[in-house]
Structure 1
Amino acid sequence: MKKLNKVPSLNGIISVPGDKSISHRSLILGAMATGITTVSNLLNSADVNTTKQVLVDLGVDIWNEAGVTKINGKGGDNFHDPKNVLDMGNSGTSTRLLTGLISGAGLYARIIGDDSLSKRPMDRVTKPLNSFGAKIESNNGRLPMNIHRSRLNKEIKFELQVGSAQVKSAVMLAGIVNGSKTTIIDNFNTRNHTEVMLKQFGAEIEVAGAEISIPADQHLHSVNVAVPGDISSAAFWIVAGLLVKDSNLTIKNVGLNPTRSGIIKILQEMNAKIDIKRVNDDGEIVADIKPHFSQLTAMNIGGKVIPTCIDEIPILALAATQAEGRTIIKDASELRVKESNRITTVTTELNKLGANIQATEDGFIIYGPTKLHSNDVHVSSNKDHRIAMMLAIAALITEGNVILEDDDSVGISYPTFFSDLERVVAK
């Protein structure tokens, strides 16, 4: 539990932790490759550590050396059945991507998770995998799951039914490990970190419009991976810099993959002043970001931009409470099956602070600007890391004390969030 309050300004340079999505994938592809892969700036968080431990349970050697993570890749045929039940904790990414890997490798495994993860839908992964020849039993589409030894079809064709890069990646990983020719149709334009990284690891992969094609019998080779800062973590500081007057924040080395950086585009359309300086275009686009205090204007947000900012919508909703006019966020029903029901939690917790938000089936209607206020009001993250960080940023512009419960949930993606906050708050 933390007591937070309004601040006059924020000042300093922040280097956010490594991108969570890329960290997961670097470990998994490094395990699938032949040779020793070196990963720098790997995110040290609960979710990523779950992926690391599961890969170790599958027979992969992973260790830290001189500040980097090294993975002795087993190649596609060298994994073995885990000797114990695989506990995925709270990590949906670990569960879905590794279900694809385990199915493609023809292993047996039992998978469990915590209470929150056990409520999240896994049939979006198990159904397509089973249709390709996998043998996965689940609890009505949820955890726990048993994956039985099987061999997938030598040719896999799949069209995404939901805008989930995790599902897309699971199918790609399953096909590659199995040696299958794999074709995926992604009309949602979901984040493409797996496609970008597969090319880094030497895979043949062709992307033509919505169609992704991977020939049979791919062999990945080890590489050096530099994980950029996570845009989802940077988003909290970007919005903080826009909302807290007299701030002078710079967020260094942030990944700006076009399939992930929709929040930048949206905020700029809301009249946000954001300076962007590119520092690297090798594989993933990386840039330094400097937000400036801005008078935001409301807008309608929906359609194809939603998959590019789905994890940032909670902090985007906070920004909308300070924008002039009515903001509508729609086509975001995926928020209901995240670590919490984020439509409900965002609405409930921000309204406690005086916001004017109405929940809809697939998003929000937000009226602004509203002055946030608190008389020692207790708000809760509902054990959701992105809600915890959003509420902490909200407290910075709220009159009175805000008492944040379940603040330790930030460890899922950003363990040093509160120490970074303390460092940039003006003394």
Structure 2
Amino acid sequence: MNVTITPTLLKGAITPPPSKSQSHRLIIAAELAGGGSISNLADSQDIQATRRCMAALRESGEELPLLDCGESGSTLRFLIPVALALRGGGRFTGRGRLMERPQKPYFDLFAEKGIFYEQKDGVLTVSGRLMPGRYALRGDVSSQFITGLLYALPLLEGDSEIVLTTPLESRDYVYLTIDVLKRFGVDVRRTGEGWYVPGGQSYRACDAAVEADWSQAAFWYAAAGTGSDVEVTGMNLKSVQGDRVILEWGRMINNEPWTDGITVLVWKEVSEEAAREKAAPIAPDSRACSVSLDVSQAPDLVPPLAAWGALMNGALYLENAARLRMKESDRLAAVADVLGTLGAEVHEEPDRLVIIGKPNGLPGGVTVDSHNDHRIAMMAAIAATRCQEAVTITGAECVAKSYPNFWEDYEALGGVIRREG
């Protein structure tokens, strides 16, 4: 489906969909507990994949059940250890770029633990017995590997330990996992190097409600920050979701003070002189501010931040972002391509983006490729509100991966779109 947007500012109140990250985790815990009620559950394609795979683990009569993960990296990485603990393994398939995404942290552990794995013809087969013990893995590849082990290791007979060999990135996603485990009666203890996980535990059923999604809310905050009169409602300001930091970062981009007391991950203002040392072309005029953000702990915020930065009065540096090259798209390249085509000034580097804002708006009048990436399509839609001419987004149906009702919500806020195909 292609969507053509007639640029107009948005107006109204919007509650984002349920958290995809929290939904994945609650579904898995509830299945392992054999019960419990989860309300306000997300129904995106990724969440459907996790529900489908957990049902296959529970119901399939095959020795190694076939688990179709769709395009969901969370589903795949969370369930590889769970399948080993429950069924002695499984056969995993997926679509898009999913089966190209790196699994080396698991493969290194499997080679050490004597677990068979083979990736062939788009199918990853793992089989063997997951044993209690020491699990050493890098913390700077993806926190999803840690979450997968945190779900599986409590089910083993003996105690285990997860040891990080490098600093942990996306740490709040691990804290989100631990928060869900505690709700379902599973004990995980922080150590100086990682986590101690007692074995022989059982998940206990409980009722839980899924919060609104901060990573999706970020797009509406970006719309509000770039001129639209949008109020984001229904958000838990004390959420464990790390992407709540969009409030702080947005205020920095708009050069505003903040008072909510939410922890800022990493930030610093950058002077014009320092910006030139970073080889970014900053004009020596009335730039309001230049802001550098370390996005390693909140990588999903890069697309909405990039749209916001493209229209700011200053320069935005999105640092430590190399892992985004292995998402649904090469997300750094996709951001640079789409925003650049719209007329923004974006400089793509190996592990960061440098964006020079154009506060008076972007030309538009072009067709951009969503790169089959839900967050890229939504980024383009937000940037289009400040374009001078219409913008067409190809492959716009990809938003169903995480936000199936995005286009309906966009229209409800006054967005003017035409669907084709």
| Residues in 1 aligned to 2:122 and 2:289: alpha-carbon distance in whole angstroms | 42
Deviation at 1:55, TM superposition (A): 1.1
| Number of equivalent positions | 384
Structure 2 gap segments, 5+ residues each: 263-286, 417-421
What does residue 420 of structure 1 align with?
Answer: 409
Structure 1 residue 234 corresponds to structure 2 residue 223: no
| Residues in 2 aligned to 1:407 and 1:296: alpha-carbon distance in whole angstroms | 34
Amino acid at match of 2:369: S
Structure 1 residue 44 corresponds to structure 2 residue 43: yes
SS at match of 1:334: helix
Deviation at 1:391, TM superposition (A): 0.5
The alpha-carbon distance between structure 1 residues 353 and 414, as it changes in their structure 2 partners (threshold 3 A), is same
| Residues in 2 aligned to 1:195 and 1:161: alpha-carbon distance in whole angstroms | 16
| Residues in 1 aligned to 2:261 and 2:403: alpha-carbon distance in whole angstroms | 23
What does residue 290 of structure 2 align with?
Answer: 298
Q: Pick the aligned partner of 2:365 from 340, 358, 376.
A: 376
SS at match of 2:233: strand
Deviation at 1:24, TM superposition (A): 0.8
What does residue 283 of structure 2 align with?
Answer: none
Deviation at 1:151, TM superposition (A): 1.7
Deviation at 1:276, TM superposition (A): 6.0
State, as a whole percentage, how many aligned pairs show the same letter: 26
Amino acid at match of 1:56: A
Amino acid at match of 1:21: S
Structure 1 residue 206 corresponds to structure 2 residue 205: no
Amino acid at match of 2:168: F
Deviation at 1:385, TM superposition (A): 0.4
What does residue 281 of structure 1 align with?
Answer: none
| Residues in 1 aligned to 2:243 and 2:19: alpha-carbon distance in whole angstroms | 11
Deviation at 1:275, TM superposition (A): 8.3
What does residue 289 of structure 1 align with?
Answer: none
What does residue 168 of structure 2 align with?
Answer: 188
CA deviations over 1:127-181 (Å, ceiling 9, x no partner): 2244334322224xx9521112x22232133243424221111122231233342
What does residue 18 of structure 1 align with?
Answer: 18
Amino acid at match of 1:26: L
| Residues in 2 aligned to 1:209 and 1:18: alpha-carbon distance in whole angstroms | 33
Taking only aligned residues, the RMSD between alpha carbons, in angstroms, comes to 2.5
Q: Pick the aligned partner of 1:252 from 222, 234, 240.
A: 234
Q: Is the 8 A contact 2:176 2:241 kept in 1?
A: no
| Residues in 2 aligned to 1:210 and 1:368: alpha-carbon distance in whole angstroms | 41
Choose between structure 1 and 2 for higher RCO, CA contacts under 8 A separated by at least 6 residues: 2
Shifted more, 1-10 versus 193-202: the winner is: 1-10
| Residues in 2 aligned to 1:261 and 1:130: alpha-carbon distance in whole angstroms | 38
Deviation at 1:254, TM superposition (A): 4.3
Q: Pick the aligned partner of 1:134 from 102, 115, 136.
A: 115
Deviation at 1:105, TM superposition (A): 2.3
| Residues in 1 aligned to 2:16 and 2:186: alpha-carbon distance in whole angstroms | 29
Structure 1 residue 319 corresponds to structure 2 residue 297: no
What does residue 279 of structure 2 align with?
Answer: none
Deviation at 1:251, TM superposition (A): 2.4
Structure 1 gap segments, 5+ residues each: 61-78, 279-294
TM-score (structure 2 length as normaliser): 0.84
Amino acid at match of 1:49: Q
Shifted more, 94-103 versus 250-259: the winner is: 250-259
The alpha-carbon distance between structure 1 residues 341 and 205, as it changes in their structure 2 partners (threshold 3 A), is same
Structure 1 residue 343 corresponds to structure 2 residue 335: no
What does residue 124 of structure 2 align with?
Answer: 145
Shifted more, 395-404 versus 320-329: the winner is: 320-329
| Residues in 1 aligned to 2:377 and 2:63: alpha-carbon distance in whole angstroms | 34
| Residues in 2 aligned to 1:171 and 1:23: alpha-carbon distance in whole angstroms | 18
Amino acid at match of 1:181: D
Q: Pick the aligned partner of 1:402 from 391, 394, 397.
A: 391
Q: Is the 8 A contact 2:80 2:90 kept in 1?
A: no
Deviation at 1:426, TM superposition (A): 7.4
The alpha-carbon distance between structure 1 residues 219 and 334, as it changes in their structure 2 partners (threshold 3 A), is same
CA deviations over 1:311-359 (Å, ceiling 9, x no partner): 1111111111122232222211001000000010000110111100010
| Residues in 1 aligned to 2:39 and 2:367: alpha-carbon distance in whole angstroms | 38
Amino acid at match of 1:216: G
CA deviations over 1:170-221 (Å, ceiling 9, x no partner): 1222312333422224532512211111111111122245532211211110
What does residue 154 of structure 1 align with?
Answer: 132
| Residues in 2 aligned to 1:183 and 1:124: alpha-carbon distance in whole angstroms | 15
TM-score (structure 1 length as normaliser): 0.83
CA deviations over 1:92-129 (Å, ceiling 9, x no partner): 11011111101222424211111321221122333224
| Residues in 2 aligned to 1:38 and 1:257: alpha-carbon distance in whole angstroms | 20
| Residues in 1 aligned to 2:187 and 2:89: alpha-carbon distance in whole angstroms | 28
Deviation at 1:258, TM superposition (A): 5.7
Q: Is the 8 A contact 2:220 2:230 kept in 1?
A: no
Deviation at 1:8, TM superposition (A): 3.6
